[in-house]
Amino acid sequence: MASLKEVRNRIISVNSTQQITKAMKMVAAAKLRRAQDNILQMRPYAQKLGQMLSTVSAGSESSVDSPLKTVRFAEKILIVVVTSDRGLCGAFNTNIIKATMALIEEKYSVQAAKGHVEIFAIGKKGAEAFNRRGFTVNTTYTDLFTRLKFVNVKEAAEKIMKDFSEGRYDVVDLVYNEFKNVATQIIHTDPYLPIVADTATQKVKAPEVNYIFEPNEEEILAELIPKSLKIMLYRAVLESNASEQGARMTAMDKATENAQELLKELKLIYNRTRQAAITTEILEIVGGAEALKGA
C-alpha cells in the first residue's frame, strides 16, 4: 500500500490537473460561442452563393469556359485537410486523419502508390500526421487559426485555384469537420475542384431560377466561380474551428469528471491508509504496554 505522503502528493497533483481542465473548458466554451456565431452567419450566405453558381454554371457549360471547370484524368491529387493547431480535443484530429486515409485508400490508392497524392494542410496536427506517413505536405497555411480572417483563407484558396488552373493537380478534395453541436461533429469529404454543380451547392439542391445577366454571363461567372470557392473553403475552416472548440470543451469536461472520480478514490485510499497507520500505532503501544506489564 502506498504511503500517506505518496497518496497526498497524488491528490495534490490530480487537484491541480482538475483546475487546469476546468479552465480549459471555460476558455473553449467562450471561443465556441464566437465560433458558433460566425458559422451560423456564414452558412446561409455560402449556401445561397452555391445555389446561384450551380444554376448559372449548369445552364452555361457549353458557352462559358473556365479553367476551374476543366475535367482531367485524375492523375495528380491534392487533398485539403482541415485539422487543429493544438491537441486536447478528443478524437477530433484523429477522425479527420482516418477519414482522409480512407479516402486515399478507396479512391486514390493507385495515385498514392506513385506518390501523386499531396496534402494541403490547414492545421498543424494534420501536417504532422501526414508528414509522418510520408506524404508531400504543403504547410504554408498551417497557422490560419491563429489569424482566422477571410483575407487569409482567401490566399490559401487562391493558391489552390492557381495550382489547379496551371495543371499541377487534376483533382482537389476537401476534408473537414462540420459543426452540429458541442458533442457532435460530422466529417465531410467534398470535391473542391474541378467545380461541378454538386461542388457549388455542397449537395444543396438549387431551385430553378432564370437569371437576368448584367453586364453578361461570362463576366459574372468569371467573378462568381472563384468567389464561391473562396467562400467554400472559408466556411470549411469556420466549421472546423467551431467543431474543434466543441470537441475540446467536451474533452475537458470529461477530463474534469474523471479527475473528480479519481480524487474520490484517492481520498478513500488516503483515509484507509491513515486509519491503518493509526491502528498499527495503537497496536504497537498496546503491545509495548503489555510487554512492560510482563516485565
Strand-by-strand arrangement of the 77-82 sheet? 136-138, 117-122, 77-82, 171-181, 184-193
Cα separations in angstroms, 230 against 102, 136, 175, 200, 219: 26, 23, 15, 11, 17
94 is catalytic: no
CA nearest 141: which of 117, 159, 121? 121
Are 242 and 85 in contact by the 8 Å Cβ rule? The answer is no
Query: CA 25, CA 251: separation in Å to the nearest integer?
Result: 8
Active-site position among 81, 89, 156, 193: 89
Known catalytic residues are: 89
